[in-house]
Chain A
Amino acid sequence: MPQLLDTDLHAAVEDAAAHLYVWALKDIPQDLRDALRDAAGRETSVPGQRVLSTILKNVDVADSEKNLVCQDTGIAVYTCRVGEHFPLHPARIYEALHDGTARATLEHPLRSNAVHTITRENTGPNVGHRLPIVHWEFIQDWDGLDVKCVPKGSGSENMSFLKMCVPADGVKGIKQFVLESIVGAGGKPCPPGIVGVGIGGSADYAMYLAKEAIARPIGTRNSDPIVAQLEDELYGLLNETGIGPMGLGGDVTVLNCHIEHADTHMTLNPVAVNYQCWAARRATAHIAADGTTDFDREA
């Protein structure tokens, strides 16, 4: 079999990125559709029901009009799982993700949100210095690449919170901070969404983990049973706050709560909250070493 050229694989990754970005924006995953329908079924407040039935209608209209679910095309965030034997170097994978993001933005066209952080001048088609953002994970004994695209809206990203709790605050301090953050956010992050919580590690890593948490399929649980129990408990508590859909009051404040954790220093107890709006968009591509690509809306 002839050796696959780097340029071909580069093209495959770029094509995947371009497709994933637009696809994620238009066709939300089935688990999210189910969670929204379930939420509409149990909401009892009048404004809350109005919001949830409008959301369901909107998802249908996006399908029938082939339009974006939400106008905020977000900031393109990719999570890459790279096998150690995948033939394209991560430096080139990054370049392909960058080029694919720009191409999708120009071809669709999508609103371009990227600006220089001081001058606020637009920096290009949803790309710029260190944009898109890529999270990396490297996998031993594997030659594939998984790319997950999470277009992250700014309304929910603005509702991100970090607290360096001290060890004496314990788990109670973590729970209180998550609760006060979501109550404080009110309707701004477009509830009901997914509350991502990162605990442990360091300040920067806790927020990174919170972002990983919001990208999981809804209702999945951390493999550590102690953390999974905390996910269940926080999910229940958050829905007792009464913030409700779009902050107008009601029973459904969050669709779920996901936690990712890392071990930490004996004197640290960091907790980060990253909110994902109800339009919790994500789409994944599995790319084999020969460039064959399988798209997966549910991963």
Chain B
Amino acid sequence: MAVHEVTFPITDEKEILKLRAGDEVVVQGHIIGIRDRTQIRIFDQGIEPPMDLRGAFLLHTAPGVRKLDDGRYEKVCIGTTTSARMVRFTEPLGAQYGVRAICGKGGFPDEAIEPMRKHGMVYFAIVGGAAALETTQIEEIEEVAWEELMPECLWKFRVKDFGPLTVGIDAHGNSLYHDVQAAATKKLEELYARL
């Protein structure tokens, strides 16, 4: 299991293709915060996002923030939410917007595997609940769009040494979540037999 450092947004697809399920990744550059209501607005209400998502790293988050007098936002506590609720947006995020990485906690079900393979995307597993650490890795909130959806706005964060992340699903059709579920389901049969 290799260790990588990747800077987002990416311009070269090879940066994504070299990542394999189980690898460790640390991220630099800019990432975009997104959540349920943000994606419902983009895809169900058909409203174009006012940020460029090409090559982007999306983080499933609804950050805790403090609004400053000049209208900017200061971080208070930024962590990551459960991804599975938002799996249906994977295909259009890749096909229409060229998103390259989605990061969240708890994983995506198997329906994300094919869109990620087709569009050269990866799913990064972050440690859910580790928000105190995550907050220190976010240097600044650079942009906020759709403030009326607070806290489920579109957020642009500048990050430094963001991670460690684990590649949960790679762009080659491999998913740790699929493998763990398959093994656990088989194990359950053995455990039931012992009850």
Spell out A's residues near B (CB within 8 Å).
46-47, 50-51, 54-55, 57-59, 61-62, 65, 67-73, 108-111, 153-155, 158, 172, 175-176, 179-180, 183, 186-190, 237, 240-244, 246-249, 277-279
Contacts and interface: CB of A to CB of B under 8 A. Distances in A.
Nearest to B176: A248
Those 7 A-B pairs whose CB atoms lie nearest each other, nearest first = A71-B79, A62-B132, A58-B130, A188-B106, A71-B131, A190-B128, A111-B64
A246 B84 contact: no
5 contacts: A51-B127, A71-B62, A189-B106, A243-B180, A243-B184
B169 to A, nearest CB: 11
A246 B132 contact: no
B136 A68 contact: no
Interface of B: 1, 22, 24, 61-64, 66, 76-82, 84, 105-107, 125, 127-136, 151, 164, 166, 168, 176-177, 179-181, 183-185, 187-188, 191-192, 195
A247 B177 contact: yes
B1 A247 contact: no
A84 B106 CA distance: 44
A180 B107 CA distance: 18
B185 A71 contact: no
B132 A65 contact: yes
Contacts of B78: 71
B1 A244 contact: no
Given A111-B77, A246-B105, A186 B181 contact: yes
Contact of B133 (A54, A176, A279): A54
Contacts of A241: 184, 187-188, 191
Given A111-B151, A277-B129, 4 more contacts: A65-B136, A179-B192, A188-B84, A249-B180
